[in-house]
Amino acid sequence: MEYPNLLPRFLKYVQVNSRSDEHSSRFPSTKREEDFQKQVIMTDLKTLGLNDVHYNQKSGCVIAELPATIDYDVPVMGFLAHSDTADFNSENVNPQIHRNYDGKSKIKLGDYEFYLDPEVFPNLKNYQGQTIITASGDTLLGGDDKCGVAELVTFAEYLLNHPEIKHGKIRLAFTPDEEIGTGASHFDVDEFGADFAFTVDGEAPGKLDWGTFSAAQFELDIQGVNVHPAVAKEQMINAIQIGIDFHNQLPHEEVPEKTEGRQGFFHLMNFKGTVDNAHLDYIIRDFERDGLEKRKALIKEIVTKMNEKFGTERIKLKMWDQYYNMADELAKRMDIVNLAREAYKSEGLPINEDPVRGGTDGSQLTYMGLPCPNLFAGEENMHGRYEYTVLESMYKAVDVMVKMATLNAINNK
């Protein structure tokens, strides 16, 4: 089904910079994403006439409710989308609309010599005759997850305009700081009031995520000794070199660019420093919980041995868990996964349940007591200038949510 307000709503949202900031000490991490939630999303929800539209300061979320259109109780279902975008230029996003794509041509990104090439990005070949939306080459698009945000608002609009569609009470949440992995830890599950939920933050139509990486993050602060290089022998301790030596002790093949499927990795995200001091940021990913623990143990072992060689704690390690594979918990609630499967099938979608090589807010929320698989939103090539989405994929995401709402009412009558 086509939803006439979805495209203009999405275009409006992506032009608002709501990028989060992992180095911020405030919550939500940036005022701009909080402003987007309060001034844009809340305004739109109130204009539509939803119930209980409010901002929860504790969780940093905009919350809203669709009232039931049935006279019997069913489990309360929730849908969530995150309001922030990733750490790529998000200022002055200029979305480009490419209608009736031929499925084989390169798509030029604005005035820049950057192209979406179907030979490089083969998923493009799936969208012949459809509408591709890109940025203009110097920013990300922000479809991750403003696709989900626009779809949730459009879903609410459609159900409000069609009270003849039978469904139970539905709760909506628009969350902050998903891209930096901290938003869900503040989520107020009790106040949200759903029995189960779905994040709408996935890729192509048919993608259903109920298995993710387990994840940890660590940082190293390395203290060197900086003396003049002319007299450095047996005195200088180069913090940059220590960082290189540490990194070279990790398994060389276990990095994102050399792994796929269910293979885990160590990923160096940031390395900055001088001879005197260096700082390194890493993430660790593994689908198995014991695999994650083994990787963490290896890090600790390397740091301990290097510090013992120096005779002092020259390398300071800080490491923490981010989220765990939701499949371990959702295996106990396959009725929720089956609800999504039934909706996908009824909408004629092939189902892709390959474990996602990442995580969503749902990973954390599931362990906080809110079972929360992830639905597709139509976003592709996230987190950079080559990001795009497909309008027809976004339509289909709304179709699926409407179908799930009706199935929840039918199956629990």
| Catalytic annotation, residues | 84, 178
Burial of 318 (C-beta count, 10 Å sphere; 0-12/13-18/19+) = exposed
Please provide residue 369's backbone torsions phi and psi, each rounded to the nearest 5 degrees: 105, 5
Burial of 272 (C-beta count, 10 Å sphere; 0-12/13-18/19+) = exposed
Specify the residue for token string 């349940």: 353
How far is the C-alpha of 329 from the C-alpha of 210, rounded, in Å? Answer: 9
Q: Are strands 374-376 and 196-202 parallel, antiparallel or unpaired?
A: parallel
Q: How far apart are the first and last CA of the chain?
A: 26
* Cα–Cα separations (whole angstroms), residue 398 to 53, 138, 158, 317, 339: 20, 29, 9, 45, 15
- Pick the closest to residue 322 from 374, 267, 386 (CA basis): 267
Long-range contacts of 162-167 (CB under 8 A, 24+ apart): 163/69, 164/69, 165/69, 165/402, 165/405, 165/406, 166/69, 166/70, 166/406, 166/409, 166/410, 167/66, 167/68, 167/69, 167/70, 167/405, 167/406, 167/408, 167/409
Under DSSP, the state recorded for 271 is E
How far is the C-alpha of 287 from the C-alpha of 217, rounded, in Å? Answer: 15
Q: Retrieve residue 232's tokens.
A: 């450095």
Side chain identity, residue 219 = E
Q: How far is CA 352 from the centre of its chain?
A: 18
